[in-house]
A and B are shown apart, each in its own frame.
Chain A
Amino acid sequence: MIPGRSRGGPWVLLGNAALLVALFTGSYLIAAAAGSSQGWPPWSGDIVLAAAGLLFLGLAFLFPLHAGLLNLGIHAQFLAGFIAGSLVARSADILPGAQGLLGLIAGAGGGLFVGVVMAWLKRKLAIHEILSGLLLAAMLVPVARAFGVEPAAAPALEIQLGTLARTLAWAPGLHLAPSFVMAWGILLLALGIGLGLLAAHLLRASVRGFELRAVGSNPLAAVAAGVDVDAMQMLTVAAGGACAGLVGALQLWTDPAVALERWPVPLGFAGITVAFLGGGYLRGALVAAIVLAVWLNTPGVAAALSSPLWGGAMALLLVLPAFWNLPRLIPDQGAPRAIWRTRHRETV
């Protein structure tokens, strides 16, 4: 959660729940109309991998939000991660066994770099993170596409979880080997859950967490209390960028076309939906990531998202939680103008 900024009450929860019901019902009806409702209720091992990706994207938006930043550069960080991961995963000079791990690390580094650039632009040139994030995303889309939309060869490293894998019903929508999905999906999901829970604990219990909450709630008071607001904001947007970049690199082995060509619904922005559906809570984002991952793997959703009409309608539904979640999550310094404020000091 964002401690100290919860004013939504049951209506926010109800709104989020109603939206999820609408999503599931709508996609079921679409699938039924197209005669492809078989396989309901959904289950696929891909859910694990999708949930891991969505959780990291949610964290990518939530970390900066705690410092009062709206990380709309999440897709730029995602693409930077994809590009950095491609450089490693498609390189013949790197051992196949190391490509997976190094690709993910490179992806996280790429996303982190974009996050730092955004924070630097805000600090030095007073360019708002919304503007810089969207511009960087627009710049990186053609660069990412230049690296190709074909999946990279699956990394050689596989964790043998054969017994567990065989016990699960398997409907591999991404056409990946169960061992790959289990290995990387469970590993990353566990990492994401651990990271989220650790961050939630540190926010409550640590001095830096206290300072971060102060920065996010009232930057003016944080400055007066001696907190280095610029450093805090850079730290969180860099951490968020690393999370988004990691997911971007992960996309290399799953379905790059989804990451690069699903415009105007860029995959990176799914993190914003996860954050809002989770009510701005780190723990809520975990639940939202799993629920959305389940929804993404229901029959007919992939086809519906590809259709301009149904895809647009679902994208609209996914944007809706912002309307009742965002107003209670933005910093308390005179909204609504605050959201456009580029500096946290009133005087220079």
Chain B
Amino acid sequence: MSLLRQGKAEVLTIYLGEADQWHGTSLAVALVQFFREQGCAGATVTRAVMGYGAGSRLHEDEVWRLSSDAPLILQVVDQPERLHRLLPQVQEMVSGGLITLHETTVLKYTHARRTGLPSRLPVRQIMETSLVTVRPETPIAQVIDTMLTASFRALPVVDAQGRLVGMIGTRDLLAAGLLPVRRGIARAAQALDEQTAQTLAASLEQARQRPQVAADVLNPQVRSLRPEQSVREAAQVMLETGLRALPVVGSAGRLLGMLTRADLLQVVVTSPLMNSQASSPTQPLRRTGDLARSSVQEQPVAMFMHSDVATVGEETPVAEVIDALLGSPYKRVLVVDQQQRVRGILSDVDVLLRVQAGARQRWLDMLAGWARGKPGRLSSGLLQEGTGSVRVARDLMNREVVSVLAETSVQEAIERILHTRRKMLPVLDREGRLLGIVGRSDLLHVLLEER
């Protein structure tokens, strides 16, 4: 018998209508997906038989009547901090529906602890089912807009019967000259100063005018999974192909869901409710210190890291930093001091955010050149004008580095990388010196070693 575990938690209850929509899908489905993506402990939707007042559409008329669609109740039990953090986004989605919070005590939260990726767990149990798709005849303008706002980097194209015709990835749009820079950069640029946003908007506007449709740019050679395939097989396919999301296709070629690398890593994450430590972005994790480690997941993460990390010094001139960045396999550069202690981290987005406004356009041009496979010589030209305060790596770097210690277990590294939504984590020794780097694919590899 396991011990009862005590914990203060809160219950978030949302009253909504079955017909309520969010960005083209059912609101209830979208909310469940949102809570799942955020690593919440669990969510349950129940359907009531009759009611009024729930759902956003009913408030419009003053006449008393029962809701025409069934009222739904969605309940999420989780740590108060997480629920409170998610509330603004939830409110945005629910727009006017009733939301309540009350306290409860969790006596137990448990599931069979998983080691490795079980060969008996089918893909259909963990895939995402709330999808944004386009049709082959969807105009290119709409494809571009959908791509920039959707939660997946890869956009499935389905026919009228819901059968998968192909996928459109950022790479396909880059290759067709329809997107000037990768999605993350485009999204960051849209949110920046007006001039930068306009630069991007202008080049997107050109692309929007093009006569193409989704069918012209889609990739028909799609690796897909069947719903009954095991998560192990799925991980193998993902690592073989280097793809980070795969469509799941059922009978008659119908698209059922998408499976991401994060979904696979999530399989071994045990209790998000009890594990508040992994979600703290800057504190080093505690040392697990257990000598008799039984499974691979208990092994120290240092065993699986790469040591070929691109580093620069705090005083490295910006032009050199950028050369290092574009040449690095993870598209990240770590900024270290003379003792190799990590001071900051840099990605292409960090450069865009921190470079002077006047130089942003040139940075976007340069990235666009790279995306087209025409890197050109970058070096000093970029930031010479208006350099002023942005001269060296220190001026560009992001100081909030989420890292793990060498002795941190693989299990905790997975929890941390998912909760902080990072793609990779620097691995440090106890003095904060850089030892290596571990990425999501590396961690997925480790899970496959577990039999």
Are A and B bound to each other? Answer: no
